[in-house]
Amino acid sequence: MIRAVDAPLLDGFVVVDLTRALAGPQASMMLADLGARVIKVESFEGDESRGWGPPFVGDDAVSTYFLSCNRNKESVTADLKSDDGRRLLEALVRQADVLIENFRPGVLARLGLSPERLEELNPGLVLCSLSGFGHDGPDAQRPGYDQIAQGEAGLMSITGPAGEPTKVGVPIGDLLTGMNGAFGVVVALLERERTGRTRPVRTSLLAGIVGIHAFQGTRYTVAGVVPGGEGNHHPSISPYGLFRTAGAPIQIACGNDALWHRLCAALEIEVENPSWAKNAVRVEHRDRVTAVLEDILMTESAEHWLGVLAEAGIPAGRVRTLDEVYDWEQTRSQGLVVEVDHPVLGRIELPGPALRFGDNDYAGGRESHTAPPLLGQHNDAVRSWLGLDSHSVKEVNA
């Protein structure tokens, strides 16, 4: 595919998005951020995340949840079980480079898009399928929701205080699955470019969470240790965690022994046990190490100690609320907040894309972004592009 030198990286690629809720919409939004044309196909009731709230904003009660994961897309509505819906979907598949779906395994085939039919319609199509627990195996048919997956995939067992399984504050399983799906799509498109071959891309909430167990996973698979929740302190590094001061708590991360010695010098600590020079010993006596540090930190404010630690080159930071994060100059300097013109809300700000290419905030991606679409906003435009009659489109705003 030929594109202009200064065009977004995925300019000219068409993605048909049959997903809803979060994992799939996250994947397609990441592709849209890089310039792909994403056409979101919704039921006449709409993606269920349009109804997830509060909060809702505006006279039309727009869900802020939906706004978080659907920028840079077009919306068309259809009943995929009807003749008209099937005609629309097949026409879209013929024009698409990518089809993303998060139905339970087997549902896409029951809608008339078996692997054989997809091959017949579009031999170059990249199919990306997202599921809860994988596309085969004994639990393949289980419905996938993030909260369930966080528990089943072990994440809750290692999050929060000991004995208190705790979910992560965002639907991290959905988000990881979306990220993995988008990554898989880009690799599949590269393979198609190089070899002309396409293969299905498959991932799941289970895979997304197990795939980021990292050192917690190898604690069990290699060392036979079953990790548990350890609150706000690292299980294998000390001191590395959240510490109380005379004001707000602060975070300190001594990732090596040299930083520990610098921390002792900065806080004028008389180390009571010379063996604490080694991280493994500090981990073994972490409660005592934490107590020694907090005895000193509790004498001054968080701002005071952050200044001292910064001067000493010790990694440290505050715990910001989200309003502080989005108002932070560093956040905005990285292009992590974008402005869009919404059809009913006007000018609004959204969390922005995480990727940058080169020195330009938007190099490789879009120079500007479009708001998440209203339900069926692009029915006529997309049907006209496909050469289909628009009269059969159900009025969704009647």
CA-based nearest residue to 69, from 102, 91, 98: 102
Phi, then psi, of 131 in degrees rounded to 5: -140, 180
Containing 74, the helix (H) or strand (E) segment is strand 73-77
**130: which 2 tokens?**
């997202």
Radius of gyration, CA atoms only, the chain: 25
Q: Are 295 and 272 in contact (CB under 8 A)?
A: no
Residues with Cβ within 8 Å of 36's Cβ and at least 6 positions away in sequence, in order, are: 10, 11, 13, 14, 15, 97, 98
Q: Are 89 and 78 in contact (CB under 8 A)?
A: yes
**Which of helix, strand or coil describes residue 368?**
coil
Measuring CA to CA, which residue among 261, 262, 249 is closest to residue 298?
A: 249
What's the rounded Cα separation, in Å, for the pair 334 and 238?
Answer: 31
φ/ψ (deg, to 5) at 375: -60, 120
Catalytic residues: 174
As a whole number of angstroms, the distance between CA 182 and CA 176 comes to 10
Q: Answer yes or no: are the C-beta atoms of 26 and 47 closer than 8 Å.
A: no
